[in-house]
């Protein structure tokens, strides 16, 4: 289930400081299984409940990069949107995301270099109002000059 998943593009000429976009997605067992298959990360903390119960998490957790992928979805689909090129991303994982959790992924514009088409974005993911991931991305935004 996704909401506020409006596809499109915001060109560098229209981006403003403080602009934000987000999506919400419930992480499912299938999401975790598919991510494991695509990434080849089959760590049992993600896939084996008995194993995961014996870890510090006391149960299965989603891959951190699955959660980070929701940030990428906001950037690639909403802000700036289609045509955006990732330049860099830093992330800090603060808490686990579990199967069934509803994740709110948000990005906020914190810097703009129009001449270079660069946008700095504060990135965060929350579960029940608690931050589970924070970071910053630098992207190259599309421009009407290149249409």
Q: What angle do CA 43, 134, 52 make, to 5 degrees?
A: 25
Question: What does the block give as tokens for 76?
Answer: 């690639």
**Least trusted range by pLDDT, from 6-10, 28-32, 66-70, 89-93:** 6-10
Question: pLDDT above 90 covers what percent of the chain?
Answer: 91
> Would you call 22 helix, strand, or coil by DSSP?
strand
Output the DSSP codes for 62-115.
--HHHHHHHHHHHHHHTSSBTT-EEEEEEEEE-S---TTPEEEEEEEEEEEEGG
**Structural domain contains residue 84:** yes
Which residues are paired to 127 by β-bridges? 103, 130
Mean pLDDT of 10-38: 97
Q: Does residue 114 fall inside a structural domain?
A: yes
Helix (H) or strand (E) holding 36: helix 29-39
pLDDT bin (cut points 50, 70, 90) of residue 146 is: low
Mean pLDDT of 32-42: 98
* Residue span of the structural domain in which 94 resides: 2-27+62-146
**pLDDT score for 5:** 43
Q: Does pLDDT of 3 surpass 70?
A: no
Count of domains for the chain:
1
State the average pLDDT over residues 13-28: 97
Instruction: State phi, psi for 80 to the nearest 5 degrees.
Output: -75, -25
Q: Is the pTM higher than 0.95?
A: no
**Residue 100: inside a domain:** yes
């Amino acid at each position: 289930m996704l909401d506020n998943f409006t596809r499109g593009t915001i060109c560098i000429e229209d981006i403003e400081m403080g602009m934000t976009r987000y999506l919400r997605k419930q992480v499912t067992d299938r999401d975790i299984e598919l991510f494991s298959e695509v990434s080849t990360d089959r760590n049992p903390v993600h896939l084996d409940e008995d194993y995961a119960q014996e870890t510090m998490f006391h149960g299965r957790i989603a891959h951190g990069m699955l959660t980070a992928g929701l940030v990428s979805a906001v950037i690639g689909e909403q802000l700036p949107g289609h045509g955006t090129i990732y330049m860099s991303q830093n992330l800090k994982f603060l808490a686990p995301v579990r199967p069934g959790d509803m994740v709110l992924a948000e990005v906020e514009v914190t810097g703009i270099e129009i001449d270079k088409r660069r946008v700095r974005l504060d990135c965060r993911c929350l579960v029940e109002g608690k931050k589970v991931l924070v970071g910053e991305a630098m992207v190259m935004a599309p421009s009407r000059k290149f249409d």
